[in-house]
Amino acid sequence: MAARAALACSLRRLSSPSLLPAKLIPRRPLSAGGDHHGPPRVNLWEDPLSPSKWKEEHFVLASLSGWGLIFYGGYKFFSGGKKDEVAAPSPQKIIGDLFGSIRIILNYLYFHLIFLAFDLKINKL
């Protein structure tokens, strides 16, 4: 028991106070935050013609909006409503309905992009 106490005292004398804080600094060699894989990602509005460079959340937003446009446009195109007479709709009616649904979806996408840009601006502050 006395030998352990003597060893502890000698170890305390050998370790200088200047080295003590360096021992308490945690070392995490695998937690480097700046080592990213691949090229840096950009926002959707900075490079809209290169989806491979977009951030993941922007790609998901654009993809879901595109699929929504396809399904909603198909729904509006194929469900023209119940009519008494069986007549083909005029091309002007079809094009008007299609552009109307595209306009609605683009307004929806525009609103969400503005909201996302505002949210990113707030988070940077």
Mean pLDDT across 16-25 = 58
pLDDT at 34 over 80: no
Q: 58: which residues sit within 8 A by CB, 6+ positions away?
A: 43, 44, 116
Instruction: Please name the residue ranges forming H helices in the chain.
Output: 2-14, 20-24, 56-78, 91-124
Mean pLDDT across 28-53 = 76
What are the tens digits of pLDDT across the range 52-83?
888 999 899 999 999 999 999 999 888 876 55
pLDDT at 67: 94
How far from chain centre, in Å, is Cα 34? 18
Q: What is the pTM of this model?
A: 0.38
pLDDT at 95 over 80: yes
- C-alpha 125/C-alpha 107 separation (Å) is 27
**Domain spans of the chain, in order of start:** 53-81+88-125
